[in-house]
Amino acid sequence: MSLDQNLFTLLFTPNKDHPNVTNLVDPSGTVHYHKRRVPGQEYKIEVFDPLSESLLITATAPSPSSKTKVLELYNPTSVLHDFEWKREQCFLIRKPDPPVLVAITKEASRQVKTAQVQMLDYNLNRFTIDGRKGLEIIILTALMTFQDSKDVSPDSVSSPVTEQPSTLLSTSLANLSRRISSIPGVAIGTESLPPPMPPKPALKTGLDRVAEMQALKGEDYNKITVEEEGSVDDYAQYCNTLLSDDAMLFISVKSTSAEFVPKVLQVVEEAKRIRHKAGLDDEADLHQYVLYDTEKKKGPKRINLNDDADQKAKYTPPSSLTVHLSKIDMPEL
């Protein structure tokens, strides 16, 4: 079946700099996808977006010739459609209605120097397809796994199309023609459900959770921000861990708001108590420096000219507090 030059066509072109990479390029030279064959005993390919370099989909199997291959589409939004490759043609399955031709491919030959694939937009546009781009990516990836199936060596990473141009792609597709479901994690050649997603890692708690919270803030390593989440003991243990590092000269424990000023003081006292019980105070005394209300208030500055003695006598707790625990003298504080 000849290709229509007016339709979206991609050429499988080997990358000149990386032998294990194949570029999917349109006739004008624009690269639409990068396909990378991952070296190793097991078969694996990765398809990337050329602009963002983000991973779009992976295909894995024990070997290139395995009858079952697993396709995992990254960040899918919905279940796509079923489709089937038969020889050089790809059909959209619409039971009980007849299948519809949506893509065709041409293998390399004397007239065509490189393998090509063409998406039949006029047929795809007849249907309401959720995740049109995802369907395109999966159809192309399935085709590339069929191409790689001619390469029975698990350590080979070169594109089979360029290494064996005389081998007819249609023969490979005829032998491997099978129905596949284009949903994330589906196994090619089976009607089974996709494999279960791996369990989510357990949420961190205690000292590990406090360390994770500080890392997510992206601040200096020696700064500890005290919040509602996390106990005083966990924060104190984290402070002690930092101070136990010989390269750590001082730490800064601060509050996020006036509500947590008392908690900062409790954390500091507990951290010093831990060091005292461990006998670390004998090795290096800690210097403590306290700063409060260091954050500038937003809005215009108000000056109260009323001489209200009762108002001045009232104690107002600080709105922010920072306590520096230092192994060295810091007179500038």
- Residues 220, 184, single domain; the answer is no
Residue 218's pLDDT band (cuts 50, 70, 90): confident
Answer yes or no: is 27 within a domain. Answer: yes
Q: What is the pLDDT of residues 46-95, one digit of tens each?
A: 999 988 888 888 988 888 888 778 888 876 545 556 778 887 888 888 77
What is the average pLDDT across 94-103?
A: 84
Residue 45's pLDDT band (cuts 50, 70, 90): very high
Distance CA 54, CA 139 (A): 18
Q: Which residue, 156, 188, 220, sits at the end of a domain?
A: 188
Answer yes or no: is 56 within a domain. Answer: yes
- Residues 60, 178, single domain; the answer is yes
- Residues 180, 294, single domain; the answer is no
- Residues 217, 315, single domain; the answer is yes
- Give the CATH number for residue 69: 2.40.160
Answer yes or no: is 88 within a domain. Answer: yes
- Residues 16, 122, single domain; the answer is yes
- Residues 261, 149, single domain; the answer is no
Strand bridging mode 43-48 / 55-61:
antiparallel
- Residues 168, 242, single domain; the answer is no
Q: What pTM does this model have?
A: 0.46
Straight-line distance from the first to the last Cα atom of the chain, in angstroms, rounded to the nearest whole number: 81
What is the per-residue DSSP string for 56-94?
EEEEEESSTT-S-EEEEESS--S---EEEEETTEEEEEE
- Residues 124, 60, single domain; the answer is yes
- Residues 181, 218, single domain; the answer is no
Q: What is the pLDDT of residues 257-289, one digit of tens each?
A: 888 999 999 999 999 999 888 887 655 678 889
Domain tally for the chain? 2
Q: Alpha helix (H) ranges present in the chain?
A: 121-124, 132-148, 160-163, 169-176, 206-217, 232-243, 261-277, 309-313
Each as own residue / partner, the long-range contacts of residues 3-9 (CB below 8 Å, 24 or more positions apart, any chain) are 3/104, 3/106, 3/116, 3/118, 4/118, 7/118, 7/119, 7/120, 7/121, 7/122, 8/118, 8/119, 8/121, 9/116, 9/117, 9/118, 9/119
Answer yes or no: is 3 within a domain. Answer: no
- Give the 3-state secondary structure of residue 33: strand
- Residues 24, 162, single domain; the answer is yes
Answer yes or no: is 2 within a domain. Answer: no
* Residue 116 structural domain: 8-188
- Residues 213, 124, single domain; the answer is no
Answer yes or no: is 331 within a domain. Answer: no
Beta bridge pairs of residue 115 = none
What is the per-residue DSSP string for 225-265?
EE-SSS-HHHHHHHHHHHHTSTT--EEEEEESSGGGHHHHH
Q: Which residue, 121, 154, 188, sits at the end of a domain?
A: 188
Answer yes or no: is 104 within a domain. Answer: yes
Q: Which residue has the tokens 């791996």?
A: 198
- Give the CATH number for residue 304: 3.30.110.20
Distance CA 248, CA 240 (A): 11
What is the average pLDDT across 168-191?
A: 41
Is the pLDDT at 177 greater than 60, yes or no?
Answer: no
Answer yes or no: is 80 within a domain. Answer: yes
Is the pLDDT at 142 greater than 50, yes or no?
Answer: yes
Is the pLDDT at 158 greater than 60, yes or no?
Answer: no
- Residues 35, 62, single domain; the answer is yes
Q: What is the pLDDT of residue 30?
A: 92
